[in-house]
Amino acid sequence: MGGARRGAAADLLVVGLGNPGAEFRHTRHNLGADTVELLASRHGQRLRSERGTRALVAAVGLGGRSAVLAVPQTYMNDSGLAVSALVRRYGPLAVERLVVVHDELDPAVGRVKVKAGGGTAGHNGLRSVHAHLHDDGYLRVRIGIGKPPGRRQGVDHVLGAGSRAERDAFAVAVELAADAVEDIAANGVDAAMTRFNAEPDQGSARF
């Protein structure tokens, strides 16, 4: 996956999906971006614009490995433009060294699950990543936002922040998702799936 490398290679590339702009911050669709911002903060770094990547980027150490954290500055539907640019800059990467953190409708609100490969589950950001990478085997950390109630349109649901109770659940989920990325880096995806996909205990969020 990738091509000619343009920058320093990374052991792990972690991308948090979202939409740019203050109006989208902390909405359901930006939980992936929130997670990567939290990871950067945990490791004493701040995401900064990186020329040629269409993303905000920080370099950190995770689990004894060099990692690049990134939040695309494209809109969600064009996430693959940024991800492919990041892969070119910091790759070439084996597919299991790319971790995409994103919201997903199917898991219950606040549930965090880890997955290796698979489909898009109707997520437009993942569709774009698939289209640009031509490979669906990358790792995912999925944050459940629940399906929209009644006849509410999906776009309104994902671009909303949720009720107070949901926002509290999402705050915990972002902590757990950051833990999951760190677990993948330190112990591998199989160990992370065992820990985070179990019901109902999802490990220890940091407070």
Q: What is the reported pLDDT for 69?
A: 98
Top-confidence residue, 122 or 76 = 76
For residues 198 and 180, what is the distance between their CA atoms, to the nearest angstrom? 13
Counting every residue, how long is the chain? 207
- Crossing angle of the two packed helices 164-187 and 189-196, in degrees rounded to 10: 150
Domain annotation for the chain: domains and CATH numbers: 12-196 (3.40.50.1470)
Dihedral angle of Cα 62, 6, 137, 41, to the nearest 10 degrees = 30
Q: What is the pLDDT of residues 84-122, one digit of tens each?
A: 999 999 987 888 899 999 999 988 999 999 999 999 888
Per-chain mean pLDDT for the chain: 90
Q: What is the pLDDT of residues 52-62, one digit of tens each?
A: 999 999 999 99
Q: ∠ at Cα 179 (142, 192), nearest 5°?
A: 65
Q: Point out the residues that are catalytic.
A: 29
Among the listed residues 171, 193, 170, 187, the one whose alpha carbon sits nearest the alpha carbon of residue 12: 187
Confidence of residue 1 (pLDDT cuts 50, 70, 90): low
pTM passes above 0.85: yes
Amino acid (1-letter code) at residue 3: G
